[in-house]
Amino acid sequence: MGRIGTIINRKGKQDAKKAKEFTKIGRYIMVAAREGGPDPEYNAALKSAIEKAKAINMPNDNIDRAIKKGAGENDGAVFTELTYEGYGPGGVAVLVECLTDNTNRTASDVRSYFVKGKGNLGTNGCVSFMFDHKGVLVIDKQESMDDEEVEMAIIEAGAEDLSIEEDYYEIITDVSDFASVRDSLAEQGYDFSMAELRYLPQTMSQLADADDIKYMQKLIDLLEDNDDVQNVYHNWEEVE
């Protein structure tokens, strides 16, 4: 399985949380529009946010409202980006990206989640060195697709790495090349089921103890259920 196989599997388990995901991505779109302008053609962050929203079937009306809200006064709310680092049970590395209008609330919530998950909230830099910041693109396979043809298109687009899986193509890019690779493939007619910047673990960690597994899952669920939390990255290799 490719580097992000567990991410895709995990993503499938979250389909029941669409409303909460809409809230999170709507906030992301709003901030991107506020900081870089409302036109996605001239705002790469907004373009990526819109693509992420469409990948989970967020209605166009929701997307448009978020863009307009971000480009306007934003109701006086000011959102701050925060990153927390720590360890889950068994020393699993955990990286949490947040977007919040109340930093004290978010800090308190994240700290309590690590405690409830039998983990430890650490200092900035304690685990981030264990992850690579990369562009991630996933193209779902169609019957009409030829592996060699798709591989050649991906290589020519400037991708850093490619993994051909049974049902999808997993593409890794350097952060600086992400937009150009995405746009090149999109112009050739390829659609993405995932297109975003992510932190990918350099090495994976397994948990053998049943309690560790239970509390690690609890930690992830608590974090992902919080509206302020945008992304949760970890190096736990979940064994199905």
**% of residues, the chain, pLDDT over 90:** 62
pLDDT band at 232 (very low <50, low <70, confident <90, very high): very high
pLDDT digits (tens, 9 = 90+) for 67-80: 988 887 555 567 88
Residue 120 burial class via C-beta count within 10 angstroms: exposed 0-12, middle 13-18, buried 19 and up: middle
Listed in order, strand segments (DSSP E) in 68-179 are 80-87, 93-100, 120-121, 131-140, 161-164, 168-174
CATH topology for the 80-129+202-234 domain = Alpha-Beta Plaits (3.30.70)
| The CATH classification of domain 130-201, taken from the options 3.40.50.300, 3.40.50.1820, 3.40.50.1980, 3.30.70.980 | 3.30.70.980
pLDDT digits (tens, 9 = 90+) for 139-160: 999 999 999 999 999 999 999 9
How far CA 72 is from CA of 39, 50, 142, 226, in Å, comes to: 13, 18, 41, 26
73: phi then psi, degrees, rounded to nearest 5 = -80, -15
Global pTM? Answer: 0.82
pLDDT digits (tens, 9 = 90+) for 14-58: 454 667 788 888 888 988 888 888 898 888 888 888 988 888 888
pLDDT band at 207 (very low <50, low <70, confident <90, very high): very high
What residue ranges of the chain are covered by domains with CATH 3.30.70.980? 80-129+202-234, 130-201
| Between 70 and 189, the higher pLDDT residue | 189
pLDDT at 136 over 90: yes
Query: CATH second-level architecture of 5-76?
Result: Orthogonal Bundle (1.10)
